[in-house]
Structure 1
Amino acid sequence: MTLLKNTIDTDSPEYQDGVSAMNDKLAEIDTVFEQLAAAGGERAVERHRKRGKLTARERIELLLDRDTAFLELCAFAAWGSDFPVGASVIGGIGTVSGVECVIIANDPTIAGGTSNPFTLKKQLRIMDIALKNRIPFISLVETGGANLPTQSEIFIPGGDSFRRLAEMSKEGIPTVSIVFGNSTAGGAYLPGLSDHIIMIEGQSKVFLGGPPLVKAATGEVSDDESLGGADMHARKSGLADHFARDEQDALRIGRRVVARLNHTKEGPAPALSVPPIHDEEELLGIVPADLKIPFDPRDVIARIVDGSDFDEFKPLYGSGMVTGWARIHGYPVGIIANAKGVIFSEEAQKVTQFIQIANRQATPLLFLHNTTGYMVGAKYEEGGIIKHGSMMVNAVSTSTVPHISLLIGSSYGAGHYGMCGRAFDPRFLFTWPSAKSAVMGGAQLADVVTSVAKASAEARGKPVDLDALEHRRAATEKQIEDESLPLFLSGLVYDDGIIDPRDSRTVLGLSLSAIANGPIESDRSYGIFRM
């Protein structure tokens, strides 16, 4: 074993400042979690319960195996928008009858469970996770369909959700729908395209057009039950595969359906897992309050990998990047972590070679982000930084083993790309509350913008208003700082969740377990190039 040593002085002022800053950020996240827990508000939840219905979170809880974890995904979607945080839908990964499943549930206490643009974005991301990782997909449906005032942002891309359900079925990924209420218009195809459908007596309503629309279109007079109730679909149309008496019965049937799926994981089974020898609680203070101050990612690695056991690759070359092999909850993983922020040519070449080896060995990769990007300047341009940075980006782009990204510090510029940012399709991407991501830091970007404006004015022979320029610089810096924060990015569904640093090992273990539902494959047929 190659044990990582503890280099953290938990009594130092720097560490204590880091803890204080992280706790402040976690407190901010907790307030958003409280909004999520409140769902559509006390009155809406009370009205929902008076109808004899469970809340969306209660439905998920009863569906899951008792005392098992639920990894909630994209929880903060729509934060900062005109729509409620969470985007009116709950999604994540949990265990049902011993089977890992992706679960998504409409929250009918929020605008009747209607879908807004953020609902769609979140739903498609969660479906993508099910599809890429070959995980059975369960929909707990109760939706009024599209939020009509935003139909222009939903209708065209919304068809993608139908396509993905069909793709899952084609790929042998089971899909299950439990209908708890209305599932109308386009929403009717969510159960319609599922492999297994469960409907509830007197409660489920599935039809393309409700009674008012049918009357307007055809003159036919009908009611909800005869047009699309559970009894009709179970006895006449054949849409319902299972007929439940109430919500609890529907969830019981859903668990039995999953138990009979005969689903087996195609990836490797984990080895015996042992906890890190260093305290995970100490992850709170490793990242400095000021992200400009560097920190050693080995201190993070030592607190998330099994036994704090880490075999480093090329430790003396390209020291600005840490690469090596470890296990997390028994699953093998290659780790790539920024150590100095800036990525130089040596680091880019080292990472490229490491990615090639990981692909030859069919080992998933974990990227720990804390980078300001690739190095600039005449000396580095002459040294081939564009070539070497492109080489690293190419390797990340064409790597076929699963990737997981965890943003723990800065993630700026093309360095974000080289470290497998969202656009490079990691299986999962999570952030710590300390993280920031943008094209560059707010101060640097503001300086660039004002410098260009000043140069442009001088080139045209116009006077430079320094006060106005400073005002513009300050406003630009604030805008970029606000837009680089985790909640802003999470609101746009650019990550799969903001996590407490102390939960990192658990979240990564759950992610690796989810990935193992499918085979860990690499189609590399060439030898390793020495960079």
Structure 2
Amino acid sequence: MKVLTSTFDLGSDVAVANREGNLERIAELDRQLDLAIAGGGERYVARHRERGRLLARERIELLIDRDAPFLELGNVAAWGTEFPVGASCVTGIGVVSGVECMIVAHDPTVRGGASNPYTWKKVLRAMQVARENRLPTISLVESGGGDLQRQAELFVPAGRLFHELTALSAAGVPTIALVFGNSTAGGAYVPGMCDYAVMVQNQAKVFLGGPPLVKMATGEDADDESLGGGDMHARTSGLADYLAADEEECIAIGRDIVEHLNWRKHGTPAAAEVDAPVHDPEDLLAIASVDLKVPFDPREVIARVVDGSRFEEYKPLYGTALVTGWATVHGYPVGILANARGVLFNEEAKKGAEFILLCNQTDTPLIFLQNTTGFMVGTQYEQNGMIKDGSKMINAVTNSKVPHITINLAASYGAGNYGMSGRSYDPRLLFTWPSSKTAIMGPEQLAGVMSIVARQAAENAGRPFDEEADAERRAALEERIEAESLALYMSGQCYDDGVIDPRDTRDVLGMALSMCHNNEVTGTRGFAVFRM
């Protein structure tokens, strides 16, 4: 494969402005991540420690292998809402006893670990990732259940967790519950639905209804331990498979369980020897445009992400606004589709569809690097069959069975988002860079379209058009759409799997590809009808 050369001027004014802007956005991202790590705040963290308990992230750190990475998902879930950043839980992929596992940990410092609507969005997404990629799942449980004041928003999605846990088990994917504290009401079914349950003595409390509810329902006076303590469940009910003396032993038992699973990946292993990119990933801060109207060559990104900066480009002279080709990332072969000039024309759509088919023929995972304003509009392009050609690409994305991993580098607008495997097209994982935006279209374009529609409506009705009011509406709409398309907002709504530092892109992709290879990697051999 050809080694990519870099022509980007790292000393230019554009590069300096990009670097400064990206560092500002990364600093803001770090501030939000600090809020998620802080959980319920100093007061509740201190109270939790006074009880001799570990924090959620400390439990994860002890659970995963020493020096192993942890790929957190939904890192800023619930950002911009009334709920704390992070949505009162931590989810992600970590290596436990040599096995890649999905880990779901309640944060008991946030309202006792009670679940809010975003908690369930985040947890159910983790379950989807575990199912698609055959990841053994470990739940670190200490939660008072759902926030009863939001029961109308919680009850239906909460039941899906039980479905997902039992479906994983039925598919032969192990599920493990490590119970450190309260696991109440619906949460009691988590250890009940898992293949293995470990409880901490004198800490774990697992019951369908706590003493107050039992008193209200039956008149019985019950205490925590006899009703749902770990010792009772280990000796009497049989719900606990193992009883741990403390949290450290509970985690150690969990690691032993994983070690004895005899777990094997179904996918092809990565190459034994992997070389780093020739070009420095640090440069990505200068390359990634903070002004999304300024395009940048995705080959500059690819050169800093793939092994040895090697890239075999496919159809380099045709449909040049879409770059396609083959490479390896951390030893895994991949096909890459990357937007070069934003708009997808007829040629780009056909080229993209054909490339996706080729990668499915060879069982090659696909990486989509998004920076698109959508498919081209206009009389010429409509007459040339833009709808048919765009549909070909979307058809190919929809019916492709190889793993898709998507990174939004800058803009992801309109049906271009779909053609480049946006969230609604089920990529295995989707991450965004801090400066990226996702929307139907850009704020100026959307506000302008609404203004034209309003102007035409006024003309058709024979009434005067209020220019001043229109200008105010356009400004307000642009401001709202701008806010709602930002990376933090979209990630806060759980429309992706997290916001990442551009410099971490290569390692994030490597971990994602390794995750995907827990399952078989097999392409589609028969596609739907392509309209010619």
Cα deviation per residue 1:286-345 (whole Å; 9 max; x = unaligned)? Answer: 122311111110000000000000001111111110000000000010000001110011
Unpaired runs of 5+ residues, structure 1, are none
Show the 5 A alignment for 1:198-209.
198-209=198-209
Show the 5 A alignment for 1:406-417.
406-417=407-418
Cα deviation per residue 1:198-232 (whole Å; 9 max; x = unaligned)? Answer: 00110001111111211221222211100111111
Q: Is the 8 A contact 1:353 1:530 kept in 2?
A: no
Partner Cα separation in structure 2 for residue 201 and residue 73 of structure 1: 30
* Structure 1 position 526, deviation (Å): 7.7
Q: Is the 8 A contact 1:353 1:529 kept in 2?
A: no
Partner Cα separation in structure 1 for residue 56 and residue 530 of structure 2: 52
* Structure 1 position 253, deviation (Å): 0.6
Q: Is the 8 A contact 1:357 1:528 kept in 2?
A: no
Partner Cα separation in structure 2 for residue 174 and residue 423 of structure 1: 28
* Structure 1 position 529, deviation (Å): 9.4
Please say if 1:231 is aligned against 2:216: no
* Structure 1 position 522, deviation (Å): 2.2
Paired position in structure 2 for 1:119? 119
Paired position in structure 2 for 1:243? 243
Partner Cα separation in structure 2 for residue 472 and residue 295 of structure 1: 32
Paired position in structure 1 for 2:393? 392
Change (3 A) 1:184 1:527: closer
Partner Cα separation in structure 1 for residue 524 and residue 9 of structure 2: 45
Paired position in structure 1 for 2:419? 418
* Structure 1 position 523, deviation (Å): 4.0
Partner Cα separation in structure 2 for residue 3 and residue 179 of structure 1: 51
Paired position in structure 1 for 2:402? 401
Q: TM-score, normalised by structure 2?
A: 0.98
Paired position in structure 2 for 1:146? 146
* Structure 1 position 461, deviation (Å): 1.8
Paired position in structure 2 for 1:348? 349
Q: Is the 8 A contact 1:344 1:385 kept in 2?
A: yes
Secondary structure of the equivalent of 2:101? strand
Q: CA RMSD in A?
A: 1.4
Paired position in structure 1 for 2:485? 484
Secondary structure of the equivalent of 1:141? strand
Q: TM-score, normalised by structure 1?
A: 0.98
Paired position in structure 1 for 2:473? 472
Secondary structure of the equivalent of 1:75? coil
Paired position in structure 1 for 2:361? 360
Cα deviation per residue 1:453-474 (whole Å; 9 max; x = unaligned)? Answer: 1221222122222111100000
Q: Is the 8 A contact 2:335 2:365 kept in 1?
A: yes
Secondary structure of the equivalent of 1:433? coil
Show the 5 A alignment for 1:55-134.
55-134=55-134
* Structure 1 position 36, deviation (Å): 1.3
Q: Is the 8 A contact 1:341 1:372 kept in 2?
A: yes
Partner Cα separation in structure 2 for residue 454 and residue 527 of structure 1: 42
Q: Is the 8 A contact 2:324 2:337 kept in 1?
A: yes
Secondary structure of the equivalent of 2:220? coil
Q: Is the 8 A contact 2:359 2:523 kept in 1?
A: no
Partner Cα separation in structure 2 for residue 69 and residue 458 of structure 1: 61
Paired position in structure 1 for 2:54? 54
* Structure 1 position 261, deviation (Å): 0.8
Partner Cα separation in structure 1 for residue 121 and residue 517 of structure 2: 25
Paired position in structure 2 for 1:163? 163
Secondary structure of the equivalent of 2:289? coil
Partner Cα separation in structure 2 for residue 321 and residue 348 of structure 1: 8
Counterpart residue identity of residue 489, structure 2: F
Q: Is the 8 A contact 1:72 1:91 kept in 2?
A: yes
Change (3 A) 1:507 1:456: same
Q: Is the 8 A contact 1:74 1:497 kept in 2?
A: yes
Secondary structure of the equivalent of 1:275? coil
Paired position in structure 2 for 1:264? 264
Q: Please, which moves more after superposition, 224-233 or 518-527?
A: 518-527
Secondary structure of the equivalent of 1:3? coil
* Structure 1 position 79, deviation (Å): 0.4
Counterpart residue identity of residue 44, structure 1: Y
Partner Cα separation in structure 2 for residue 37 and residue 389 of structure 1: 42
Show the 5 A alignment for 1:449-464.
449-464=450-465
Cα deviation per residue 1:61-118 (whole Å; 9 max; x = unaligned)? Answer: 1111111101111011100001001000001111111111110100000011000000
Paired position in structure 2 for 1:276? 277
Secondary structure of the equivalent of 2:243? strand
Q: Is the 8 A contact 2:399 2:524 kept in 1?
A: no
Q: Is the 8 A contact 1:103 1:138 kept in 2?
A: yes
Counterpart residue identity of residue 42, structure 1: E
Partner Cα separation in structure 2 for residue 8 and residue 481 of structure 1: 29
Q: Is the 8 A contact 2:97 2:258 kept in 1?
A: yes
Partner Cα separation in structure 1 for residue 219 and residue 20 of structure 2: 67
Secondary structure of the equivalent of 2:514? helix
Partner Cα separation in structure 1 for residue 528 and residue 460 of structure 2: 54
* Structure 1 position 530, deviation (Å): 13
Counterpart residue identity of residue 43, structure 2: R
Paired position in structure 2 for 1:174? 174
Partner Cα separation in structure 1 for residue 36 and residue 84 of structure 2: 9
* Structure 1 position 128, deviation (Å): 0.7
Q: Is the 8 A contact 1:312 1:324 kept in 2?
A: yes
Change (3 A) 1:132 1:527: closer
Paired position in structure 2 for 1:193? 193
Q: Please, which moves more after superposition, 280-289 or 329-338?
A: 280-289
Partner Cα separation in structure 2 for residue 459 and residue 263 of structure 1: 68
Cα deviation per residue 1:422-463 (whole Å; 9 max; x = unaligned)? Answer: 000000000001211100000000111111112212221222
Partner Cα separation in structure 2 for residue 420 and residue 75 of structure 1: 21
* Number of residue-to-residue matches in the alignment: 531
Partner Cα separation in structure 1 for residue 368 and residue 526 of structure 2: 24
Counterpart residue identity of residue 167, structure 1: A
Secondary structure of the equivalent of 1:372? strand
Partner Cα separation in structure 1 for residue 294 and residue 208 of structure 2: 58
